[in-house]
């Protein structure tokens, strides 16, 4: 009788344990992130290089790809920007900010830190659209109005630029020397101008008003390899994305000839442990593959779907993205799309 009671108790406990497990199933994890989709014509309009040397993709330069396309950024100290002042055009004088009259040149020679530009440059009055601009400008605030990468010479504006806005700058380049006397100065800083009798300043032009592809020098400074998450707000976290090739029949794939597009375009180089082994997931590296504060996705190549498209995808090259106004383009039969999810905090 004693052994019967023990056996009954054991099976009763086993039964109760099973019932409890069955009555409380594991709740599946809910992915509450926000979904987005961007086609490859929809690059962001608020990113610019300060000078053409930073757009050079030849082996000698290629500063953007060396910084963003390597696990450890490679820096060319000769073109490191030690100091910068960014200006935007204004239509009238205001007591809310200090503004200066200035002439801005797309192709501006450097000066030394101990001298100002000659009056022949300062008083030049022949305006050339996209090359030489006259106007009144005010200084913008770094971290509030824009972010600047001193190693790649790139500006990211934190507000949408208008077609009529003119952007110019004054900056100092290291020139790869340990001596400040060898620094190269482009444009004139506002502190230099308020302490002398010059009637107007000289600046380096970055974006003229009504920028068009025929303004070749200025058009080249407009970055077309950064994509902002649509309707973005807050700060991006938990970002995941993938790249798909969309075909004329409506089908799509993220693998082409056994190659993952995410890896081919440079977004999957490492696994989650930081080892140089692609793992099929987006390398979530703030400031390198994306900017958390702006929701912008950074392709490590300039013109990633045009001149610099990976050789495996050469049949899908669409150079018109970079040579024409995107508003004048339509999606071809084969196109690329960026699709992903993120949290906003």
pLDDT digits (tens, 9 = 90+) for 210-265: 999 999 999 999 999 999 999 887 899 999 999 999 999 999 999 999 999 999 99
Give ∠ CA 178-184-187 in degrees, rounded to 5. Answer: 150
The pLDDT assigned to 25 comes to 63
The pLDDT assigned to 17 comes to 45
CA 20 remoteness from chain centre: 53
Contact between 64 and 302 under an 8 Å Cβ cutoff? The reply is yes
The pLDDT assigned to 30 comes to 84
How far is 144 from 81, CA to CA, in rounded Å? Answer: 19
The pLDDT assigned to 24 comes to 57
The pLDDT assigned to 176 comes to 76
**Pairing outcome for strands 226-228 and 252-253:** unpaired
The pLDDT assigned to 199 comes to 77
The pLDDT assigned to 234 comes to 83
Among the listed residues 302, 98, 287, the one whose alpha carbon sits nearest the alpha carbon of residue 201? 98
The pLDDT assigned to 26 comes to 66
Q: Which residues of the chain have pLDDT under 70?
A: 1-28, 178-179
The pLDDT assigned to 126 comes to 86
* Beta-carbon contacts of residue 145 (< 8 Å; ≥ 6 apart): 86, 88, 157, 158, 159
Backbone angles phi, psi at 87, to 5 degrees: -115, 150
Q: Tokens 């109005």 map to which residue? A: 145
Which tokens in the block code for residue 217?
């020098």
């Amino acid at each position: 009788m004693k052994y019967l009671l023990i056996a009954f108790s054991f099976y009763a406990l086993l039964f109760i344990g099973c019932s409890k497990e069955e009555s409380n199933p594991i709740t599946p994890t809910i992915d509450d992130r926000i979904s987005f989709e961007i086609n490859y014509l929809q690059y962001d309009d608020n990113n610019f290089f300060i000078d053409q040397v930073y757009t050079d993709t030849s082996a000698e330069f290629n500063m953007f790809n060396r910084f963003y396309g390597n696990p450890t950024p490679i820096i060319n100290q000769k073109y490191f920007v030690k100091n910068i002042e960014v200006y935007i055009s204004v239509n009238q004088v205001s007591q809310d900010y200090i503004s200066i009259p200035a002439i801005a040149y797309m192709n501006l020679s450097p000066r030394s830190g101990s001298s100002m530009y000659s009056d022949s440059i300062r008083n030049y009055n022949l305006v050339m659209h996209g090359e030489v601009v006259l106007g009144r400008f005010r200084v913008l605030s770094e971290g509030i109005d824009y972010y600047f990468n001193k190693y790649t010479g790139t500006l990211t504006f934190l507000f949408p630029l208008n077609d009529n806005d003119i952007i110019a700058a004054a900056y100092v380049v290291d020139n790869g020397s340990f001596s400040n006397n060898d620094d190269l100065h482009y444009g004139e800083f506002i502190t230099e101008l308020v302490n002398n009798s010059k009637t107007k300043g000289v600046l380096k032009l970055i974006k003229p008003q009504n920028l068009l592809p025929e303004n070749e020098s200025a058009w080249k400074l407009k970055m077309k390899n950064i994509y902002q998450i649509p309707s973005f707000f807050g700060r991006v976290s938990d970002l995941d994305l993938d790249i798909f090739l969309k075909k004329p029949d409506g089908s799509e794939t993220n693998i082409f000839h056994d190659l993952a597009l995410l890896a081919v375009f440079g977004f999957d180089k490492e696994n989650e442990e930081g080892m140089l082994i692609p793992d099929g997931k987006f390398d979530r590296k703030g400031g390198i593959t994306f900017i958390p504060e702006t929701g912008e996705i950074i392709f490590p190549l300039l013109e990633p779907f045009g001149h610099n498209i990976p050789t495996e995808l050469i049949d899908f090259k669409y150079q018109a993205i970079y040579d024409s106004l995107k508003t004048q383009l339509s999606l071809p039969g084969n196109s690329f799309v960026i699709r992903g999810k993120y949290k906003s905090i």
